[in-house]
Amino acid sequence: MPQSIRPYLEYQADRVEAVLAAHRAPGRITGGTVGPRLIRFFLNPAPHIRFASVKRLADDLALAMRVPNLRIDRGREGIVLEFSNPNPRPVELLSLLAEASPLPAATALLGLADTGVPLMARLSAPEVAHILISGTTGSGKSVLMRTLAGSLVLAHRPDVLKLICIDPKQRAFTALAAAPHLVRPLITEPDETLEAFRSLIRTMEIRDQRRECMPRIVVLVDELADLVMTGGKPVTEALTRLVQRGREAGIHVVAATQRPSAAILSGLMRANFPLRLVGRVVSANDARLACGRGGTQAHLLEGRGDFLAVNGGDNPLRFQVAYIDEQALENEIKDVLAFGPPRATTRHRRTR
Ligand SMILES: Nc1ncnc2c1ncn2[C@@H]1O[C@H](COP(=O)(O)OP(=O)(O)OP(=O)(O)O)[C@@H](O)[C@H]1O
Ligand SMILES: [Mg+2]
């Protein structure tokens, strides 16, 4: 831990203990972690103090600590208090990729979990299969899409993994235009999208008969709401079929939207995204909608790549999305093209 942050941590721990004592809910900070974006304190409450009584004090604690948001959770370490690091460090995709390489097959790198380990998503696993990304504007959805797609392209050869990129706003995937993994040029129009979905459904049916799933095809959709609104029922129906039946045929959908409301996504479609990646949302209600369950406090996330991974039964995992800017990703992909098949592993190790 850098020496300079120690006085800040001690000051904050004292504030927490003072507020708790003043409200007759005493407890001690017994440890914690300092992450790139977040600081976590582990709180050990006195034996007669209930978790709910500490949680009720969130606003008073945040005020005393002078932090904009304080998330309070139960964890293995006791009660966990999470707040933003006053000296945030970016998480860089390329260095994280070097650390995490070699990535397993069909796996994307997402970022750094608050436990300090790289967070990956293996698309072939039933608990991942299709990914729904949500969060308000500026939460970092398009950056997450770029990171996810970039890590797939840099770590997988185009004969084992293909991409289809759909983006009505033409912003998220420009860096990928030269990647040999693209099945077709970047798609921006609803007609092209529908045609691509129908062709994927045909591929899915053929693969089902032959019991094939290779090469994996990852369909990336930024601005899903725009697509559903302009493409209407035919697009929605085709996409629903892909998420219902795609996984076994090696077809995976990763889609982003600000709010996965019923007006945009039917319940059927929503139910078929096993993994939810949720950035900052504007209300507790939106948090429930985005996560598909309550109690995640996603409205207290910080924005700009501060995300939760929500997956059925387990506790949501908080992580910082790894960042790469468009130009850097484009250059990296060009390097890969120039120097032969992508082997993110060896190339990045050498440059480290
Ligand atoms: N992981 C990250 N690390 C560092 N900065 C980030 C990260 N994610 C997002 N940002 C910053 O936040 C800005 C907005 O991110 P992004 O465009 O991905 O938001 P969005 O959720 O797609 O918003 P919209 O719904 O308006 O499209 C980025 O331009 C970048 O400056
Ligand atoms: Mg966006």
The one-letter code for the residue type at 4 is S
Quote the pLDDT of residue 335: 87
Query: Last residue of a domain, which of 64, 84, 104?
Result: 84
Best of 143, 171, 224 to mutate for ligand 1, by most ligand atoms within 8 A of CB? 143
What is the Å distance from ligand 1's center to 38 Cα? 18
Query: Last residue of a domain, which of 84, 118, 136?
Result: 84
Instruction: Give the residue with greater pLDDT, 264 vs 254.
Output: 254
Q: Specify whether 229 is located in the same domain as 141.
A: yes
Q: Tell me how far apart the alpha carbons of residues 290 and 278 are, in angstroms, rounded to a whole number.
A: 6
Establish whether residue 137 lines the binding site of ligand 1, counting it when its CB lies within 6 angstroms of any ligand atom: yes
Q: Specify whether 75 is located in the same domain as 145.
A: no
Quote the pLDDT of residue 199: 97
Tell me which ligand sits closest to the C-alpha of residue 136: 1
Query: What's the rounded mean pLDDT across residues 278-298?
Result: 92
Model confidence band, residue 345 (pLDDT cutoffs 50, 70, 90): very low
What is the Å distance from ligand 2's center to 51 Cα? 37
Give 195-221 as a DSSP string: HHHHHHHHHHHHHHHHT---SEEEEEE
Place of tokens 């409450």: 45
Neighbours of 84 (CB within 10 A): 17
Q: Specify whether 170 is located in the same domain as 35.
A: no
Q: Tell me how far apart the alpha carbons of residues 72 and 149 are, in angstroms, rounded to a whole number.
A: 32
Contact 216, 162 (CB under 8 A): yes
Q: Specify whether 321 is located in the same domain as 187.
A: yes
Best of 85, 132, 142, 171 to mutate for ligand 1, by most ligand atoms within 8 A of CB? 142
Q: Specify whether 21 is located in the same domain as 130.
A: no
The CATH number of the domain holding residue 36 is 3.30.980.40
Q: Does 252 score more than 60 pLDDT? A: yes
Neighbours of ion ligand 2 (CB under 5 A): 141-142
Q: Specify whether 149 is located in the same domain as 182.
A: yes
Establish whether residue 141 lines the binding site of ligand 1, counting it when its CB lies within 6 angstroms of any ligand atom: yes
Q: How many domains does the chain contain in total?
A: 2
Ranking 187-201, 271-285, 308-322 by mean pLDDT, the lowest is 308-322
What is the Å distance from ligand 2's center to 205 Cα? 32
Quote the pLDDT of residue 348: 42
Query: What's the rounded mean pLDDT across residues 24-40?
Result: 93
Q: Does 97 score more than 90 pLDDT? A: yes
Quote the pLDDT of residue 273: 94
Quote the pLDDT of residue 349: 39
Residue 168 in 3-state DSSP? coil
Q: Specify whether 63 is located in the same domain as 116.
A: no
Query: Last residue of a domain, which of 40, 61, 84?
Result: 84
Establish whether residue 134 lines the binding site of ligand 1, counting it when its CB lies within 6 angstroms of any ligand atom: no
What is the Å distance from ligand 2's center to 198 Cα? 25
The pTM (predicted TM-score) of the whole model is: 0.88
Quote the pLDDT of residue 260: 87
Ranking 99-113, 193-207, 257-271 by mean pLDDT, the lowest is 257-271
Phi, psi of 323 (to 5 degrees): -115, 140
Quote the pLDDT of residue 340: 57
Q: What share of the chain has pLDDT > 90, as a percent?
A: 76
Quote the pLDDT of residue 22: 97
Quote the pLDDT of residue 263: 81
For residue 140, give the ligand 1 atom closest to its CA. Answer: 18
Measured by CA distance, the residue closest to atom 30 of ligand 1 is 304
Q: Which two tokens stand for residue 86?
A: 């006053």
Q: Does 133 score more than 50 pLDDT? A: yes
Establish whether residue 321 lines the binding site of ligand 1, counting it when its CB lies within 6 angstroms of any ligand atom: yes
Q: Specify whether 220 is located in the same domain as 75.
A: no
Quote the pLDDT of residue 75: 82
Query: What's the rounded mean pLDDT across residues 155-172?
Result: 92
Q: Tell me how far apart the alpha carbons of residues 326 and 19 are, in angstroms, rounded to a whole number.
A: 45
Model confidence band, residue 352 (pLDDT cutoffs 50, 70, 90): very low
DSSP 104: P
Candidates 152, 161, 238; CA nearest to 196 is 238
What is the Å distance from ligand 1's center to 246 Cα? 29
Residue 169 in 3-state DSSP? coil
Q: Specify whether 275 is located in the same domain as 137.
A: yes
Quote the pLDDT of residue 309: 96
Measured by CA distance, the residue closest to atom 26 of ligand 1 is 137
| DSSP alpha helix (H) spans, the chain | 6-22, 51-55, 58-65, 93-100, 141-155, 190-210, 224-245, 267-271, 284-291, 326-338, 344-351
Tens of pLDDT, residue by residue over 47-61, are 999 999 999 999 999
Quote the pLDDT of residue 80: 94
Instruction: Give the residue with greater pLDDT, 293 vs 324.
Output: 324
Tell me which ligand sits closest to the C-alpha of residue 146: 1
The one-letter code for the residue type at 238 is A
Q: Specify whether 285 is located in the same domain as 173.
A: yes
Best of 91, 301, 304, 325 to mutate for ligand 1, by most ligand atoms within 8 A of CB? 304
Mean pLDDT, rounded, of the chain: 91
How many H helices and E strands in the chain? 11, 13
Query: What's the rounded mean pLDDT across residues 178-189?
Result: 93
Sign, CA torsion 206/198/227/169: positive
Q: Specify whether 253 is located in the same domain as 178.
A: yes
Tell me which ligand sits closest to the C-alpha of residue 167: 2
Quote the pLDDT of residue 3: 58
Phi, psi of 21 (to 5 degrees): -65, -40
Quote the pLDDT of residue 2: 52
Tens of pLDDT, residue by residue over 149-158, are 999 999 999 9
- Which domain does 181 fall in, by range? 93-351
The CATH number of the domain holding residue 279 is 3.40.50.300
Q: Specify whether 105 is located in the same domain as 150.
A: yes
Query: What's the rounded mean pLDDT across residues 287-298?
Result: 90
Quote the pLDDT of residue 350: 36
